[in-house]
Amino acid sequence: MRLFLVAGEPSGDKLGAALMAGLKTLLGEVEFHGIGGPLMEAEGMESLFPMSELSLAGLAEILPKYFELKRRLEETVDEAVRIAPDALITIDSPEFSLRLANRVRQQRPEQHTVHYVAPTVWAWRPKRAAKMAPDIDQVLALLPFEPPYMEAAGMRCDFVGHPVVAEQQAGQDEAAAFRRAHGIAPDVPLVLALPGSRRGEITKLGPVFAQTLRQVLAARPEVRIVVPTVPTRAELMAETLADWPGAPILLDPRGRDDAVVAAEKRAAFAAADAALAASGTVSLELAAADTPMVIGYDGAWLSRIYVTRLLLVDTVTLVNLVSETRAVPEFLGKNCRAEAMAPALLDVLDSGGEQHAAMRLTMERLGRGQESPGLRAARAVLDGMPV
């Protein structure tokens, strides 16, 4: 079987790699082409160009790169048509992915298409499902309440869970070892700071997170701060942290073995007492590690105005949505400011226990303890192939 997969950001790389592993388990030999990050490359893909070129957030970040992205889109369309895969599988990054599916379909009307990660039509822009339906045959959904929205627009939709529920978690021994390695006593409060993996997110959220942590340290000077990052953003993150308070510990992945880096990140999540994080998949990673959190997110001014006018729900934090609670404090747009987030983070440090039940329920509803989501996604893809 020959497949063409496209991912545009680290979370998509995780999804793609899990799907590829599942397909290899079920089929043995599979020919993979397309665009992916290091995890998808490790599963056997040679990326057409670096996935990081697609990792852009919001209108204000995308517009300056418009012509470069357009060139990459043309290049990807040409390659997908040339490969003529059994299925074109686009993973998240809808601005790029759905344009790709449309353009490929124009040249190959018979092309079978799958989009992995349902658009958040339950949150904003509900007409997106109908708009993508002519170009997408099947959708793989991460959240259990999403299939009816896609099916109503005429697409097949399979809930396959989220790979985070199958990821290895660090135990108490690894957490204690992490603290010892970084000179953090067992009783010292440890806060993870996670301002995102995109350049625009780090640039926008970094100063706000710094101000928030400065206020937290004013009240709790013993707090230690740990900042994980990804290889493509390590240099930017190191520059950003130069202005942060509390001598934060950067978990720098550059020049280190991927498995060691991943184990260190898992241990940091397990060792932390609380996290200050950007909105997104990281909230599920924190929930999987049972780490209480405060979510803050703000895009460029233009993106903020555009999204907040269209938002249909009162929370975008996945733990809140899946658990049907509002246990995780969330500060979006103009509310993403230190004066609001610092007291919330201090409250979580003092009494974050109420989040644990919501995080456990989230993991249960996303498939923890069941067949791995990557394998479920692979079965769904094969079952949805045209006869």
Residues 140 and 266 in one domain: no
Residues 148 and 211 in one domain: no
Write the CA distances from 386 to 87, 171, 351, integer angstroms.
10, 44, 52
Nearest alpha carbon to residue 111 among 133, 85, 75, 132: 85
* Residue 306 in this model has a pLDDT that exceeds 60: no
Residues 361 and 374 in one domain: no
- How does pLDDT run across 369-381, given as a tens digit for each residue? 999 999 999 999 9
Residues 341 and 207 in one domain: yes
Nearest alpha carbon to residue 289 among 354, 351, 356, 365: 356
Residues 143 and 258 in one domain: no
pLDDT at 166: 87
pLDDT at 313: 75
pLDDT at 316: 85
- Look-up: residue for tokens 């498939």? 367
CB 358 within 8 A of CB 323: yes
The C-alpha atoms of residue 4 and residue 82 are separated, in whole angstroms, by 11
Token pair listed for 310: 């269209």
CATH number at residue 19: 3.40.50.2000
pLDDT at 326: 95
* Residue 307 in this model has a pLDDT that exceeds 80: no
C-alpha dihedral (196, 200, 203, 207), degrees to nearest 10? -60
Range of the domain at 9: 2-162+370-383
Q: Helix (H, G, I), strand (E, B), or coil: what is residue 6?
A: strand
* Residue 57 in this model has a pLDDT that exceeds 60: no
Residues 23 and 94 in one domain: yes
pTM score, two decimals?
0.80
The C-alpha atoms of residue 386 and residue 181 are separated, in whole angstroms, by 53
Residue type, 259: A
The C-alpha atoms of residue 56 and residue 337 are separated, in whole angstroms, by 23
Query: What is the mean predicted confidence (pLDDT) over 105-109?
Result: 97
Residues 12 and 145 in one domain: yes
The C-alpha atoms of residue 324 and residue 106 are separated, in whole angstroms, by 41
* Residue 210 in this model has a pLDDT that exceeds 90: yes
Q: Which of the four pLDDT bands, split at 50, 70 and 90, describes residue 223?
A: very high
- pLDDT above 70 covers what percent of the chain? 93
DSSP 124: B
How many helices and strands in the chain, by DSSP H and E? 17, 12
Query: What is the mean predicted confidence (pLDDT) over 51-57?
Result: 74
* Residue 310 in this model has a pLDDT that exceeds 60: no
pLDDT at 181: 97
Residues 136 and 8 in one domain: yes
Q: How many domains does the chain have?
A: 2
The C-alpha atoms of residue 294 and residue 311 are separated, in whole angstroms, by 20
Q: Which residue has the higher pLDDT, 310 or 341?
A: 341
CB 363 within 8 A of CB 288: yes
- How does pLDDT run across 150-200, given as a tens digit for each residue? 999 999 999 999 888 988 999 999 999 999 999 999 999 999 999 998 888
* Residue 62 in this model has a pLDDT that exceeds 90: no
Residues 232 and 332 in one domain: yes
Q: Which of the four pLDDT bands, split at 50, 70 and 90, describes residue 351?
A: confident
Mean pLDDT of the chain: 92
Residues 266 and 357 in one domain: yes
Query: What is the mean predicted confidence (pLDDT) over 9-30?
Result: 92
Residues 180 and 322 in one domain: yes
Residues 237 and 115 in one domain: no
pLDDT at 367: 93
CB 5 within 8 A of CB 20: yes
